[in-house]
Structure 1
Amino acid sequence: MRGSSKSSGRPIPIPLEPLKEGHRIDPLERLFLEAAERGDKHTVIRCLHGPRPVNVNCTNILGRSAIQIAVDNENVELVELLLKQDGVRIGDALLYAIREGVYRIVEMLIDHPSITRDMLGNAWAGYKLEENSGIESSDYSPDISPIMLAAHCNQFEILQLLISRGARIEKPHRLTCSCTRCKEEVQSDSLRYSLLRINTYKALASPAWISLTSPDPVLSAFKLSWDLEKLAMRENEFKDILNELSEQCKKYACDLLDQCRSSEEVIAVLNKSSDSDNEGDDSDEEVDCERLTLDRLKEALKYEQKQFVAHPHCQQLLASIWYEGLPGWRKSNFFVRTVIIVILIALMPLMAVYYLIFPRSRLGQLIRSPFMKFMYHSASFGVFLFLLILASINMGSREQTQIQRKQRRGPALSPLEWLVFLYVIGFIWSECKQLWDEGLKAYIRQWWNWLDFIMLSLYLCTFTLRFVAFIHSLDEEQYGPKMLPRTKWPSNDPTLVSEGVFAIANVFSFARIIYLFQANPTLGPLQISLGCMLIDIGKFLFIFFLVLTSFACGLNQLYYYYTDSDKTQGAVIVDNGKEYENAFDPLLQSYITLFWALFGLTPLSTVRESSVHELTKSVAEALFMAYHAMAIIVLVNMLIAMMSNSFQDIQDHADREWKFARSKLWMGYFDEGSTLPTPFNLIISPKSIYYFLKRVRRLVQSCLVSKTDKPRRKSNEMHNKTYCTLHDYVSSFSFIRLKE
């Protein structure tokens, strides 16, 4: 075996090619190679310039040339001597020098006339094969170029040297790329093509490469980590490697944040804008929470960089912004906090009125702080839930009114229901402002926004049906009498449908309060675990539906032929004049029966007590038994195991997961706007009117200037101008509430 490297301590791999036989090596070549191993410069010179000069590219039994031996021993003088010889082949010597990190030797090797700029990058493979007459090296794949190896080894100085000489690493094409080059490489050797992609991504994920080539290393690490995670989901063969590289990029971003020594430096990192690298100088700005944009933090949330967001430096800055205007809040005890919160919530109407009149005052600035906005919005939603409870139990209505309400088709909204309707309109307007500020893609990326959309849609449907029912009640000739016992109402009566939709909306409303648990360190991890469990339930339902369908179809096929089709009161089995309910016909009834069987609500008599043949009963009972064993013993326990695994995964990283979720919640209250909670956000404030008039004036001035500068335009330019003007007008009109 070859010896160990002197500098790195790593064992040098044995080449795959056969070892040369000792008696076939020329004695002079043996002397020359042994002198190179010892570093005997004078003996090397005598062998090279003697009466019978040796071949400078001769190799020993391990296939190593003299220059490779000299590089491996870090003998700079000997390398310099060998490079002066005519016809010397550098080969893997450059890669050895890069691996050992000997800057001087690397510089001498790349300055050799046989090494061009292209060879340091993509052209290295062709150079190696041409140098070795088509035979690949035993130590390194021809796809491993010098710059790629320098990135793999994180050799900063050598990598900077190679970059200064023009070496580059090309990012691999997409996995679905169908260009000619990708097709040829896949058809030629799919494994070599995949390994080339993996080695390239290893180089691109190198901290040294990102630091030296990216103008924004943090953002580059975010994007590359995100791409590698998505690629790992598609290339399952290299999933572990790609996930490891993704974690390496995340750790690199956190290591950069570790270098911050003050709040100003943290702000300089988190305020970095992705639009321009030289736009403004955030590092010189003072710590002013109103001027913080936190663009880099928003990118971290977008690319799900949980380690970065949960970093202590990042969390400390977020906490200071969150509790701005409330000095000593975090140091006070639970009782003091509770008293302050109760007082502030009780003063919420007065605070809202004061803010509408004096938004720029000191107290107005306090109301605009993130914590105050969160507290008031949460309190507003709590009042909404309280109104739902009162509306559900018909609180506030007289007994005579309640009796009349039970028989009235299309009743008018009660004062309590009008309050609920007002809150719903306020929530809808708040969601519209959020959609305007964040954009459609960012809005739909958050699952809680989907829950809000479903909840508000159900409430809108409820009130729409109530309005339709009220209109129908005015026309008694077409839709029947207005006062009628509820049992005699048609099943599709709009009032009944609205009550059903309202009940479902109430469930979504109370489920929405779980979103607020993210602000609590105890309930936050539980809420995150619940979300992961819901994903597991979705996966389980897919498998369970296949099993349920198989048994439902089988039992339905057995009992279908025994159903009395003349009966109109559902599917029944007649046995000597005695009727039995057929629990497996039609197919939907079979699904329902098997579903309730999971909870022990389907008795065994459903397959035994009927007039079907004994053989049919036996087969049905066997299927029913197999279903219970498969669904209850196997599938349900599998679901429990999946949910336990998800819960444990969250608990293993509970602090990181909770801080990431809490940061997403906090960021929704850091931006300007949406200060007042529902229903105060429906009031048009003087400040909104001022912004509206100011924007209209700016719009008029821009139109006048454009007419003065360019009186004549082409037809298509006029069309674009008209569109932009209309768009600006709509934007100005929307500013009346968006700039709250």
Structure 2
Amino acid sequence: TDFQSAPSLREQLLYVWVLSLICEEFRQKAKMYFTELWNILDVLSSLLFCLGLVFRLTTELFYTGKIILCIDFVVFCLRLMAIFTISRTLGPKIIIVKKMIMDMFFFMFLLSIWVVAYGVAKQGILIHNDSRLSWIIQGAIYEPYLIIFGNFPKDIDSDIDSCSMNGTDPLKPKCPVLNENQMPAFPEWLNIIMLCVYLLFVNILLLNLLIAIFNFTFQEVQDNTDKIWKFQRYELIKEYYRRPATAPPLNIYSVFHYFYLKIMRRNKPRKHNEFKIQLKPEVEKDLLHWEGLMKDRYLLSARQEQSQRTETCILDTSQR
């Protein structure tokens, strides 16, 4: 909360710490870098921090820089989820969350069709010639979205003081169309039917579809929890094995030393073979023989399982 115009000592130490993190990201190889979500979050957090720092040190853009740094803090917090990959229990759960986010992303396209369809139709029936873009978006998109969660809009009711007749009050929505008897000009039954159909499809059909998709994703990952955790643990160990021994911001010396050897001395990059074991020819031959034996056992087990499934299906069909 202590965010003054001049950076304090603690804030300057934070700058050094983030700078060391940025240097560490530059040290890593760019090949296949952006295929990992954590690397994307690293780059995004670094870019947001640099942008927020520039704005923060500019008097005219001071508050804008504060907003960017607050958003950057959220990205840094999300990046902390990577430490849970070492856990056998929480590691696979992160994979489940990532897959569910992708499922929800594609589900939002399907949901947006119903939200826009109902919202635009409802707004066109109730309101006539409202030129305020903010209230149009609120009535056509925001309010139908809130209805999904049971939050029905209460800004327009029988009280004439809750809305603006001509839409001149920027703090109030425009009142519905009225006839000469000061009664709603639109058919109220039509609006009720549209709302019921909208709630039927969105709250019952689409949301249950999303729950079914989440259940399938959860079960798919849960069935392979041990394999997923082992791969996560291997990647995490390999990543930290190749990092400097000191943590930020004490790793600045190691990073500068790495760039000095790579750029100034023009040395060839050292290949990492720490996770490869050089075996003797006879040991390698025995290992290949063992791998072939395990492959044959696995294929035999898969055939037997497939045969049992086929026999079970035939038996179930005959019993019917």
TM bucket normalised to smaller: 0.5 to 0.7
The answer to whether the 8 Å contact 2:148/2:202 transfers is yes
Question: In 2, distance between residues paired with 1:678 and 1:446?
Answer: 21
Unmatched segments (≥5 aa) in structure 2:
160-174, 178-183, 271-320
From 433, 439, 454, the counterpart of 2:44:
454
> How many Å apart are 1:430 and its aligned residue?
1.0
Task: Give yes or no for the alignment of 1:423 onto 2:35.
Answer: no
From 228, 242, 253, the counterpart of 1:657:
228
The answer to whether the 8 Å contact 1:556/1:585 transfers is no
> How many Å apart are 1:650 and its aligned residue?
1.0
The answer to whether the 8 Å contact 1:518/1:662 transfers is yes
The answer to whether the 8 Å contact 1:560/1:585 transfers is no
Question: In 2, distance between residues paired with 1:686 and 1:591?
Answer: 52
Hey, what does 2:250 align to over in structure 1?
A: 680
Hey, what does 1:38 align to over in structure 2?
A: none
**Structural mapping, 1:8-23, within 5 Å:** none
Task: Give yes or no for the alignment of 1:526 onto 2:120.
Answer: no
Question: In 1, distance between residues paired with 2:227 and 2:38?
Answer: 20
CA deviation vs aligned residue, 1:124-143 (integer Å, no higher than 9, x gap): xxxxxxxxxxxxxxxxxxxx
Question: In 1, distance between residues paired with 2:233 and 2:224?
Answer: 14
> How many Å apart are 1:418 and its aligned residue?
1.5
Hey, what does 2:122 align to over in structure 1?
A: 555
Question: In 1, distance between residues paired with 2:81 and 2:255?
Answer: 32
Hey, what does 2:311 align to over in structure 1?
A: none
CA deviation vs aligned residue, 1:370-422 (integer Å, no higher than 9, x gap): xxxxxxxxxxxxxxxxxxxxxxx43xxxxxxx7xx4xxxxx122222222222
Question: In 1, distance between residues paired with 2:254 and 2:186?
Answer: 76
**Structural mapping, 1:537-552, within 5 Å:** 537-552=104-119
SS in 2 for 1:680: coil
Identity value in percent: 22
The answer to whether the 8 Å contact 1:540/1:639 transfers is yes
SS in 1 for 2:149: coil
Question: In 2, distance between residues paired with 1:686 and 1:508?
Answer: 26
- Counterpart of 2:50 in structure 1: which amino acid? L
Hey, what does 2:315 align to over in structure 1?
A: none
> How many Å apart are 1:618 and its aligned residue?
3.4
Question: In 2, distance between residues paired with 1:524 and 1:429?
Answer: 27
- Counterpart of 2:47 in structure 1: which amino acid? S
From 8, 18, 24, the counterpart of 1:414:
8
Hey, what does 1:508 align to over in structure 2?
A: 75
Question: In 2, distance between residues paired with 1:562 and 1:508?
Answer: 41
The answer to whether the 8 Å contact 2:127/2:176 transfers is no
TM-score by length of 2: 0.68
Change beyond 3 A, Cα 1:502–1:617? farther
From 177, 185, 192, the counterpart of 1:621:
192
Structure number, greater radius of gyration: 1
CA deviation vs aligned residue, 1:171-220 (integer Å, no higher than 9, x gap): xxxxxxxxxxxxxxxxxxxxxxxxxxxxxxxxxxxxxxxxxxxxxxxxxx
Hey, what does 2:149 align to over in structure 1?
A: 599
- Counterpart of 2:118 in structure 1: which amino acid? F
SS in 2 for 1:615: coil
Question: In 2, distance between residues paired with 1:631 and 1:450?
Answer: 33
Question: In 2, distance between residues paired with 1:688 and 1:455?
Answer: 23
Select the structure with the greater relative contact order (CA < 8 A; seq sep ≥ 6): 2
**Structural mapping, 1:337-376, within 5 Å:** none
Hey, what does 2:219 align to over in structure 1?
A: 648
Question: In 2, distance between residues paired with 1:588 and 1:547?
Answer: 16
Q: RMSD of aligned C-alpha atoms?
A: 3.1
Unmatched segments (≥5 aa) in structure 1:
1-392, 395-401, 406-410, 473-493, 572-583, 697-727, 736-740
Change beyond 3 A, Cα 1:507–1:656? same
> How many Å apart are 1:690 and its aligned residue?
7.9
From 462, 465, 481, the counterpart of 2:55:
465
**Structural mapping, 1:317-396, within 5 Å:** 393-394=1-2
Question: In 2, distance between residues paired with 1:420 and 1:629?
Answer: 52
The answer to whether the 8 Å contact 1:607/1:620 transfers is no
Question: In 1, distance between residues paired with 2:176 and 2:222?
Answer: 55
- Counterpart of 1:669 in structure 2: which amino acid? Y
CA deviation vs aligned residue, 1:26-81 (integer Å, no higher than 9, x gap): xxxxxxxxxxxxxxxxxxxxxxxxxxxxxxxxxxxxxxxxxxxxxxxxxxxxxxxx
The answer to whether the 8 Å contact 1:544/1:631 transfers is yes
> How many Å apart are 1:658 and its aligned residue?
1.4
Question: In 1, distance between residues paired with 2:210 and 2:93?
Answer: 18
The answer to whether the 8 Å contact 2:126/2:176 transfers is no
Hey, what does 1:586 align to over in structure 2?
A: 136
Change beyond 3 A, Cα 1:666–1:622? same
The answer to whether the 8 Å contact 2:56/2:63 transfers is no
- Counterpart of 2:72 in structure 1: which amino acid? A
Hey, what does 2:282 align to over in structure 1?
A: none
> How many Å apart are 1:685 and its aligned residue?
8.1
TM-score by length of 1: 0.31
> How many Å apart are 1:560 and its aligned residue?
4.1
- Counterpart of 2:81 in structure 1: which amino acid? I
Change beyond 3 A, Cα 1:655–1:587? same
